[in-house]
Amino acid sequence: MSKPNQPFHIEPAEIMPTLPTQFFATLVSNVNRQVAQGHDVINLGQGNPDQPTPPHIVASLKEAADNPQYHKYSPFTGYSFLKEAIAHRYKEDYNVDLDPETEVAILFGGKTGLVQLPQVLLNPGDVCLVPDPGYPDYWSGVALARAEMKFMPLTADNGFLPDYSRIAPSDRERAKLMFLNYPNNPTSAVAPLSFYEETVDFAAKHGIVVASDFAYGAIGFDGKQPVSFLQAEGAKDVGVEFYTLSKTYNMAGWRVGFALGNAKIISLINLLQDHIYVSLFGGIQAAAATALTAPQDCVQTLVSRYQSRRDAFFAALSEIGWDAPKPAGSFFSWLPVPKGYTSVAFANLLLEEAKVAVAPGVGFGDHGEGYVRVGLLSSEERMQEAAYRIGKLGLF
C-alpha cells in the first residue's frame, strides 16, 4: 500500500481548545525538576492526602474482591447498599434525610459530578455563577457545556463568602447554576447555616440551581463540625451537594463520590452516567460502604492530625513574622504574600530559594492574587521546617 503524500491530519473538536488550561501542571513540573536535581523539596502545594486509607477499609476491599458477584457488571446506578450507607452517614452526621434511590447518585469521584452537572443543566450561552477564587474544575464543566461564567468574588472582608447583593442584576436573572464550596478550597473558610439559608432564598427567588461542593465536609477544627448545605430548610428544592470519600477517609485514588439532594437533578446525572459508565467495581462499593457505616474513629484521628499540623505550622509562621488567621476547616491554609510580590513570583521564589512548594493564589482565579495556598499535608516537623526555611529568606 502506498503512503499518502501528506501527513494524516487530526482535527480536534472545536470544544477542545476552549477548555481551561491546567494551571497546576506547571507547578508539578517545576517541583519535579527541583527533585530531579537532587533537592529536598517540601511540597505543600498539593491537594492530595498524604496518609494511607484506614486498614479496615482496605481489608473490606480485599474480602469483597473474592466475591464473584462483583466480578460482573455493577448495576448502572450502583448498589443500593452503598447509597443506603451514604444516607446513613448524612443522617448521623448532619440529621439530613435522604432517599437512597432517588436523592443519591454514585460518582466516579466528586470531580466527575462537578464537571457533569453543568452538562445536564446548562445550554450554550447560559450563565453559571462561580466563586473567585475557586476550584478550577468548575470552569471545566462550564466550558464543556459551552456556557458562560460570571465570577463571585470571595474576599476577606466578607469571610470569603459571596455577597449576593454585589451580583449584577443581569447576571442574577440569566444565571441557571451556582457553585459553592465550604469548607473552602483554597481559602479554608467555612460557612454558617445562616449563609445557606440566605442562599436557598436567593436561589429560589432567581431560579438558580445550587451546587454545594462539600469535599472537605468532615474537616473542621476546634471542635466545630462544618455545616452541610442540605441542613438548610428547602435546600433539596433548589440544589444538590457533592460529597467524596477522598478526604474523609484518605481514599483519593479509589474515586468514590456522591451527588445528593434534588431528585430531578439526581436523575439527570444518572441519565448522563448511563451513557458513559457501568458504575464502580462492586468491591470498591462494598469497601466504601464499610467506610461510611463503620465507627468513625479514623475520621476523628485524621481531623486531629490536621489540626495538630495547623497549630504547629502557624506557631512557626508566627515566629518568622508571617501573620495570617488559622484555617477553620479543610486541609489548606490561605496566606497573604509579602508586599512587592505577585502570587506566582512569590511561589517561584519559595521553590527556588527555600525548596518549599506552594500554590499561587491566582491559579484559583483573579481574586486569588495576593495569596498562596499551603496544604497541611506533611508531618508537623516538615511543616515547621518549611516555615523556618521561608523565614531565612528575611521577607517578613
Q: Do the bridges between strand 104-107 and strand 148-153 make them parallel or antiparallel, or are there none, so unpaired?
A: unpaired
How does pLDDT run across 140-169, given as a tens digit for each residue?
A: 999 999 999 999 999 999 999 999 999 999
**CATH 3.40.640.10: which residues of the chain?**
71-293
> ω into residue 360 within 30 of 0, thus cis?
no
Beta bridge partners of 210: 178, 239
For residue 55, give the nearest of 287, 245, 285, 254 by alpha carbon: 287
CA distance to 32, 350, 354, 393, per residue, from 37 (Å): 9, 16, 14, 21
Contacts 24+ apart (CB under 8 A), 335-340: 335/371, 335/372, 335/373, 335/374, 336/370, 336/371, 337/361, 337/370, 337/371, 337/372, 338/395, 338/396
Pick the CATH number of 16-52+298-391 from 3.90.1150.10, 3.30.300.30, 3.40.50.300, 3.40.50.2300: 3.90.1150.10
Tens digits of per-residue pLDDT, 349-393?
Answer: 999 999 999 999 999 999 999 999 999 999 999 999 999 999 999
| Number of other CB atoms surrounding residue 7 within 10 Å | 7
Please give the pLDDT value at position 301: 97
Asked if residues 187 and 361 have their Cβ atoms less than 8 Å apart, the reply is no
Per-residue model confidence (pLDDT) at position 102: 98
Ranges in the chain, pLDDT < 70:
1-4
What pLDDT digit, counting tens, does each position of 3-45 carry?
667 788 899 999 998 888 877 777 888 899 999 999 999 999 9
Contact criterion met (CB below 8 Å) for 356 and 41: yes
Residue 214 near residue 196, CB atoms below 8 Å: no
Cell of 170: 443581569
Residue limits of CATH 3.90.1150.10 in the chain: 16-52+298-391
How far is the C-alpha of 151 from the C-alpha of 171, rounded, in Å? 10
Residues 167 and 206: their CA atoms lie apart, in Å, by: 12
Phi-psi label, residue 125: left if phi above 0, alpha if psi -120 to 50, beta otherwise: left
What CATH fold (topology level) applies to the domain 71-293?
Aspartate Aminotransferase; domain 2 (3.40.640)
Give Cα separations from 75 to 16, 71, 254 (angstroms): 32, 12, 18
Q: Hey, what's the cell of 214?
A: 462539600
| CB 120, CB 95: distance < 8 Å | no
Residues 322, 387: contact at Cβ < 8 Å? yes
